[in-house]
Structure 1
Amino acid sequence: MSKPNLRSITVNQIGYSTEGAKIAIVNGEGQGFRVIREETGEVVYAGKSGAAVLDKPSGAKARAADFSEVRTAGRYYIEGDDGSISASFVIADKPYQELQQGLLKAFYYFRCGVELTGEYAGPWAHGACHTAEGIVHGQPEKRLDGCGGWHDAGDYGKYSGPGAKAIADLLLAYELYPAAFEAAVPLPESDGRTPDVLLECKVELDWLFKMQEAGTGGVYHKLTTLNFPGLDVMPENDTAELYISPVSAAATGDFAGVMAMAARVYEPYDQAYARQCLAAAQAAWTWLEQHPGVPGFTNPPGITTGEYGDGNDQDERFWAAAELYRTTGMEVYHEAVQALAKLPFPKYSLGWADMGGYGTLAYLLSGKSATQTALYASLKQGLLAEADRLVQQCREDGYRISLLEEDYIWGSNMLVMNNAMLLLAAEHFSGNTAYAGCALDHLHYLMGRNVLDISYVTGFGDRPVMHPHHRPSVGDGVADPVPGMVSGGPDRGLHDEYAARHLQGKPAAQCFADHDLSYSTNEVTIYWNSPAVFVTARFNV
């Protein structure tokens, strides 16, 4: 008999709630297991795991070990009859509060243009960066202030569309689960009045204002250097010229949607700011009306940074119209929503390239009485059908998540968290808490209940990602990476040289390398963090 992998029992490395379901996944032959209280060594529960499922995406023989009967708060680990063990974890009433705060604090670490002081950044402090004006591409004599906002990812680019997606996730989390955001992070701006999540989103919103072209309402696609800097270059040492890429319809639609949303959310806290957001959203909408058929964005000549190309702007226009209608109640926007909804784009996607799901959520959140009956019913039915499809995929998956083998793409953890978000939206509109249970399984996967027994969030869990493709984490000389950042996760396409060299032949869910050169599996981004904040917030109310 072969010796077992001593860590072949995988769990959420943060823990489980006292009253909720508690399931570990065993990758191996042994069926008997024991739950042991770490402080005393006492066996508090003994059971047998279920039948093995040959899980194709992970290549594992996965068995579910259910220990939901354990409801006493404390720290535990699981031991199998064959000597295998799990990470240690807690059982607590609300085990994910610190995790949510860490995921949200990561946005502070992504800040651009300001010094991150030791008081708030600890050992990950660094100087102000990217304070120079940006050159408008194609107009070398025109320079604009683009200081502020968040770095997008492991590089220092700033992108309007992905930034809007990240803000939207955070604002939706606050709208649906405000009680989860009562505690301060804290941030330099914390004032005890405006929730910190709104103060942090304002950092990116203030930058987005600078990306709106004066006089037209259109929104520049991105602000980057011509090329990516070296992997160990700290932000304050990245001093190459900054370039503002041309206006795009996708960026303008995303801007209109998120600014209309912000106008509504900030109104109780800062009415003048809310009015500024709404005026900017309406100006962007005017640009969209005046430019009905513009080509998709591609990188201008000479710029090699992330393109975020998007050839279909119908989804962004739909989101913009739906948010403007929800915020203003004006029939002109309602008519636009109804016209755009007839077009064939994804209505339930929450990705930066397909933003139609945000339009659907905005329209449904407007309420049944304020919406067109047939369209409301159709969008709600479609949302629940998509959620049911995800639930069915979870039932068939050895690790209880909704990804098929082909879904382990570049940024697969965004799909994991976006799908969990959609499931929670289905819970919100149906009242069916089974959707939340399935969403929680996705969080369990992210935090270690996966075939690699790794927490995909830096600084959290028993075995977290340690070497993300993230320039400050590489260049700062600090052993631990910047905490609270969600890694991209397994990518079966092996889209970087390191992955192609080291991961050939691995099952899809094992195509991950905790190495800073593996940008296709181990980079971080603001819009992988943002849905994770949304999901954890649901379980902190």
Structure 2
Amino acid sequence: MKYVRSVLSLILLLAISFACQQQNKSEPAEGSGIYLNQIGFYVGAPKIAIIKGAAAEKFTVVDLNSNKAVFEGQLGEPNQSSFGNYTTRAADFTILDRPGSYVIQATGLADSYPFEIEPNVLNEVSKASIKGFYYQRMSTDLPEIYAGKWTRAGGHPDTAVFVHPSAATSERPADFKLSAPKGWYDAGDYNKYIVNSGITMGTLLSAYEDFPAYYSKLDLNIPESNNDIPNLLDETLWNLRWMLRMQDTDGGVYHKLTTAKFEGMVMPENATNKRWVVQKSTTATLDFAAVTAQASRVFANFESQLPGLADSCLAASKKAWKWAQQNPEVLYNQDEVNKAHDPDITTGAYGDKSVGDEFIWAACELYISTGDEAYYSAINLFPDENLSLPSWGNVRLMGYYSLARFINKLPHTSFSEITPLRAQLINFADGLINGSAAWQTVMGGSEKDFVWGSSAVAANQGVALLQTYRLTNDKKYLEGALSNMDYLLGRNASGYSFVTGHGDKSPIHPHHRPSVADGIDEPVPGLLSGGPNPGQQDGCEGYPSNIPDESFVDNDCSYASNEIAINWNAPLVYLLGAMEVLYNN
């Protein structure tokens, strides 16, 4: 018995040891009080770390290969946080441009996370942010050759989905079956929403239109990698094919394809509840019109690989525009839908009470793609100067970005009217520039920055600044965008790099069903976590604080701060790709 007890004790000790190893493997490293972009910095670009509550006056940058100090600097003056009761000081080592691997040291603190200085320092993160969409693909297996350890069986073929009573017509009555496969899982859940796909697709297609040479050379190791189409566009095609199936015969577009309720935390192949297309809406139809108009001009350059696709997209866009003009106020109100029809639908509503911004975006894209001034004159494209950062519920600026992109190619008769748009975009960017003094980022200039999906706020601020940089060539906008890139990768009050799989301290437990259910320690990589959100609407325990910029918890129950979403990843893709191009010219 003594022998048996000894063996059992040994087994128990080994089990405890293994469990501890697993925990250590899965949990991110603790920070040192030195906050910085955990990936690294470009040669020739600003390089700033932030030290919180520093007693030291100086800092040192140490080369990890030689273990020698290569730079010593004076910390900047203290800056008081706008939200927390602490001060920060900046460690500015912009002058250090020698490629290599480094850490920062300061008296009384552990070394910083290691980082690189090199020309293409964010290229791998850039590729991962696009590959994140591959991991969100529906209706297909993800083989190990492409997905690595995150290989999984396909789920949600969506070849036999049902028309919800709210979407029924005489031609397609309730329970009519239709096929709408492919697309991406929208977020941590297993549904597909046209409205959120709208801004996502618009942002990704804009990234390609602005930086085609960069995206044309990326190999993401996806099934389509050798088809002579840029992998970024291959990925958008997976979602575009689904979107085209969501248009009804009359031109209107179903608001979403969804289960009645959210599925549990299971793998896609185990989520098999009945799926519906739900009521057509004006917002969904106009988002669809904008995306398909933009797609028509992008894919016109690939006619030999994709014969007829550009024409089909433009025809679908025009048909959707016509339906929206005839049905300008068909709003999606989920509560009203549920009062009138069964089954109740309780998944993401993406309801929007205003369609003016969607009309502006669709009109801009159709005008650019067709040259037909009827779209330009159909509505007031410039109702006021009150611009707002793009989000799924406010897409007006998406249209303005496209107008700015093609401003020198538009028909002469409207050129003089559109030209003032340049001043509007500059004024908007100037309003963003004065951000957080404590963290020296554009992000965090206002408590309003920290909302549900605050990481996307940071990314979209960066995109807005880059659009303005492209118009002005003024480096303050480029450097402002870079500061938000640094924010997303670790120079923030939480100390997290918000991109899964990238950085020494990045989210391990995102609210993302495959990452929870697959049994793999590491989450699916390349996904942007939502970021600090003092609303804490999930009621999840473990938030360290309700201070706006610290209100983040790495827990899969925290859908308010730690979910992922395609419309958050898309501006990350844009921002990373732009940095790779603009700092390597």
Given that residues 220 and 251 in structure 1 are in contact (C-alpha distance below 8 angstroms), is that contact kept between their aligned partners in structure 2? yes
Alignment of 1:452-531 (within 5 A): 452-498=494-540, 501-503=541-543, 505-531=545-571
Counterparts of 1:58 and 1:540, CA distance in 2: 33
Range 12-21 or range 504-513, more displaced: 504-513
Given that residues 314 and 345 in structure 1 are in contact (C-alpha distance below 8 angstroms), is that contact kept between their aligned partners in structure 2? no
Q: Does residue 290 of structure 2 align to residue 257 of structure 1?
A: yes
Given that residues 289 and 316 in structure 2 are in contact (C-alpha distance below 8 angstroms), is that contact kept between their aligned partners in structure 1? yes
How much does 1:169 deviate? Answer: 1.0
2:16 counterpart residue number: none
Structure 1: 5+ residue runs without aligned partners?
none
1:237 counterpart residue number: 270
After superposition, the C-alpha distances for 1:167-213 in whole angstroms (9 at most, x for unaligned) are: 11111111111222112112101125110001100000000011101
Give the TM-score normalised by the residue count of structure 1.
0.95
Q: Does residue 301 of structure 2 align to residue 268 of structure 1?
A: yes
Counterparts of 1:401 and 1:39, CA distance in 2: 33
Counterparts of 1:267 and 1:228, CA distance in 2: 38
Counterparts of 1:342 and 1:194, CA distance in 2: 36
Change (3 A) 1:526 1:401: same
Q: Does residue 577 of structure 2 align to residue 537 of structure 1?
A: yes
1:277 counterpart residue number: 313
Q: 1:286 aligns with which of 322, 326, 344?
A: 322
After superposition, the C-alpha distances for 1:357-411 in whole angstroms (9 at most, x for unaligned) are: 11111222231462634532332211111100111225x4534223312321111
After superposition, the C-alpha distances for 1:323-369 in whole angstroms (9 at most, x for unaligned) are: 00101101211212xx3324459544311100001111122223146
1:207 counterpart residue number: 242
Query: What secondary structure sits across from 1:370 in the alignment?
Result: coil
Alignment of 1:358-437 (within 5 A): 358-368=398-408, 370=410, 372-394=414-436, 396-403=437-444, 404-437=446-479
Range 420-429 or range 24-33, more displaced: 24-33
Q: Does residue 345 of structure 2 align to residue 318 of structure 1?
A: no
Q: Does residue 486 of structure 2 align to residue 444 of structure 1?
A: yes
Change (3 A) 1:21 1:504: closer
Q: Does residue 392 of structure 2 align to residue 352 of structure 1?
A: yes
Change (3 A) 1:281 1:217: same
Change (3 A) 1:172 1:58: farther
After superposition, the C-alpha distances for 1:275-329 in whole angstroms (9 at most, x for unaligned) are: 1110110110110111123334435311110111111111111111100010110
1:223 counterpart residue number: 257
Q: Does residue 145 of structure 2 align to residue 119 of structure 1?
A: yes
Change (3 A) 1:225 1:64: same
Given that residues 189 and 513 in structure 2 are in contact (C-alpha distance below 8 angstroms), is that contact kept between their aligned partners in structure 1? yes
Q: Does residue 50 of structure 2 align to residue 25 of structure 1?
A: yes
Query: What secondary structure sits across from 1:496 in the alignment?
Result: coil
Change (3 A) 1:58 1:218: farther
Query: What secondary structure sits across from 1:452 in the alignment?
Result: coil
How much does 1:126 deviate? Answer: 1.3
Range 61-70 or range 91-100, more displaced: 61-70
How much does 1:60 deviate? Answer: 3.7
2:211 counterpart residue number: 177
How much does 1:164 deviate? Answer: 1.7
Counterparts of 1:50 and 1:67, CA distance in 2: 11
How much does 1:120 deviate? Answer: 0.6
Alignment of 1:80-99 (within 5 A): 80-99=106-125
1:159 counterpart residue number: 193
Structure 2: 5+ residue runs without aligned partners?
1-29, 166-172, 339-343
2:164 counterpart residue number: 137
> Which amino acid in 1 is paired with 2:192?
K
Counterparts of 2:516 and 2:204, CA distance in 1: 27
Query: What secondary structure sits across from 1:207 in the alignment?
Result: helix
Q: Does residue 226 of structure 2 align to residue 191 of structure 1?
A: yes
Q: Does residue 339 of structure 2 align to residue 298 of structure 1?
A: no
Counterparts of 2:254 and 2:189, CA distance in 1: 19
Counterparts of 2:240 and 2:291, CA distance in 1: 9
> Which amino acid in 1 is paired with 2:463?
M
After superposition, the C-alpha distances for 1:237-296 in whole angstroms (9 at most, x for unaligned) are: 100000111111111110000100000011111251111110110110110111123334
Given that residues 468 and 477 in structure 2 are in contact (C-alpha distance below 8 angstroms), is that contact kept between their aligned partners in structure 1? yes
Q: Does residue 38 of structure 2 align to residue 13 of structure 1?
A: yes
1:43 counterpart residue number: 69
Range 22-31 or range 139-148, more displaced: 139-148
Given that residues 347 and 360 in structure 1 are in contact (C-alpha distance below 8 angstroms), is that contact kept between their aligned partners in structure 2? no
Query: What secondary structure sits across from 2:301 in the alignment?
Result: coil
Counterparts of 2:493 and 2:112, CA distance in 1: 12
Given that residues 204 and 570 in structure 2 are in contact (C-alpha distance below 8 angstroms), is that contact kept between their aligned partners in structure 1? yes
Given that residues 54 and 398 in structure 1 are in contact (C-alpha distance below 8 angstroms), is that contact kept between their aligned partners in structure 2? no
Given that residues 407 and 415 in structure 2 are in contact (C-alpha distance below 8 angstroms), is that contact kept between their aligned partners in structure 1? no
Counterparts of 2:374 and 2:95, CA distance in 1: 55
Counterparts of 2:292 and 2:58, CA distance in 1: 54
> Which amino acid in 2 is paired with 1:120?
Y
Counterparts of 2:431 and 2:295, CA distance in 1: 31
Counterparts of 2:520 and 2:86, CA distance in 1: 35
> Which amino acid in 1 is paired with 2:426?
L
Q: Does residue 202 of structure 2 align to residue 168 of structure 1?
A: yes
Counterparts of 2:60 and 2:538, CA distance in 1: 41
How much does 1:6 deviate? Answer: 6.2
Counterparts of 2:155 and 2:477, CA distance in 1: 43
> Which amino acid in 2 is paired with 1:38?
L
Q: 2:133 aligns with which of 94, 97, 107?
A: 107
Counterparts of 1:296 and 1:229, CA distance in 2: 22
How much does 1:84 deviate? Answer: 3.5
Change (3 A) 1:142 1:348: same
Query: What secondary structure sits across from 2:367 in the alignment?
Result: helix
